Amino acid sequence: MVRRKMLSEEVADMIASLINTKYFPGDKIPNESELAKEFGVSRTTIREAIKQLCSKNVLKIYRGKGTFVCENPGLQKDPFGLKYIKGDDIYYQFFETALLTEPSFAALAAQKATQEQIEKLSARHQEFIADVDKYHNNEVPIEVLQKHDTFFHAGILTCCNNVIIARIKPFIELVIQDPTDTFIKSIPSSIKYHGLIIDAIKERNPVNAHRYTKDHLNDLVKIAVSTGLLQVEPKYPLPNNFSDN
């Protein structure tokens, strides 16, 4: 026998149908009373519907502020279950995946990023450079720099303006948190190549965006080998029909 949906489930579906049409990521939705009036149901039903959507990472409640649409509605923080994956070669597989995908994402970003997205990425890069100096003066912790680095790599995905690619961000944000010693050694490379990649995106030059991202990743691989994070270097040649010379 097929179970009939409860009223709260039907209301949850109706609210969810408004995501990305009426309400967008980061938007605050109406309060319980307003939603109850809109859908013609009780506040108890609305409360249960919101609870269901929160459990699915569609909505998030902030006490004293209200209920908001999640940044990536419906996507869990660790959608790939990476924290449950065991093995010494997890970083090898991460870099292997990054070499295969990130240069192409950067190339797409150079073609599709909006001016606002480019300006935001560029401004954050300048903050990163400034905070590196502050870190060396013991004014900010290393975690601040790691957040800048994560923002950059996730920001490239945002600049692709592709809803499928954008949903890979939790993977990038979770895995890119390298051990501290490896990250510290990678800072000069990040300052150099992040700037070059942003310039290529500004210039709408996908070939250079691809090249600099690949060079940056290869540099990071060498650093990871030097710190013992990787035992061997993963390498992926470009397809024969692609040239970034």
**pLDDT given for residue 211 in this prediction:** 96
Phi, psi of 65 (to 5 degrees): -120, -40
Contacts of residue 4, Cβ cutoff 8 Å, sequence gap at least 6: none
State how far the Cα of 27 lies from the Cα of 132, in Å rounded to an integer: 33
State how far the Cα of 16 lies from the Cα of 73, in Å rounded to an integer: 9
Percent of the chain with pLDDT over 70: 85
**pLDDT given for residue 238 in this prediction:** 52
Do the domains at 7-69 and 82-226 have one common CATH topology?
no
State how far the Cα of 31 lies from the Cα of 167, in Å rounded to an integer: 28
**pLDDT given for residue 214 in this prediction:** 94
Residue of 98 and 71 predicted with greater confidence: 98
Whether 210 and 107 have beta carbons less than 8 Å apart is answered as: yes
Domain boundaries, the chain: 7-69, 82-226
The mean of the pLDDT values for the chain is 87
**pLDDT given for residue 19 in this prediction:** 85
Q: What angle do CA 82, 86, 88 make, to 5 degrees?
A: 115
Pick the CATH number of 7-69 from 2.40.50.140, 1.25.40.80, 1.10.520.10, 1.10.10.10: 1.10.10.10
Answer whether residue 162 shows pLDDT above 60: yes
Residue of 163 and 126 predicted with greater confidence: 126
Q: What is the DSSP string of the chain?
A: -PPPPPHHHHHHHHHHTTBTTTB-TTPBPP-HHHHHHHHTS-HHHHHHHHHHHHHTTSEEEETTTEEEE-SSTT--SSTT-GGG---TTHHHHHHHHHHHHHHHHHHHHHHH--HHHHHHHHHHHHHHHHHHHHHHTTSS-HHHHHHHHHHHHHHHHHHT--HHHHTTHHHHHHHT---HHHHHHHHHHHHHHHHHHHHHHHTT-HHHHHHHHHHHHHHHHHHHHHTTS-SS----PPPTT----
Answer whether residue 163 shows pLDDT above 70: yes
Out of 77-91, 125-139, 206-220, which region has the weakest mean confidence (pLDDT)? 77-91
Give per-residue pLDDT as tens, 40-63. Answer: 999 999 999 999 999 988 999 999
CATH superfamily assigned to domain 82-226 = GntR ligand-binding domain-like (1.20.120.530)
Give per-residue pLDDT as tens, 4-53. Answer: 678 999 999 999 999 878 888 889 999 999 999 999 999 999 999 999 99
- Interhelix angle 43-55/32-39, nearest 10 degrees: 110
Going by C-alpha positions, the residue among 89, 85, 230, 237 that lies closest to residue 171 is: 85
Does the model's pTM come out above 0.85?
Answer: no
- pLDDT tier at 103, thresholds 50, 70, 90: very high
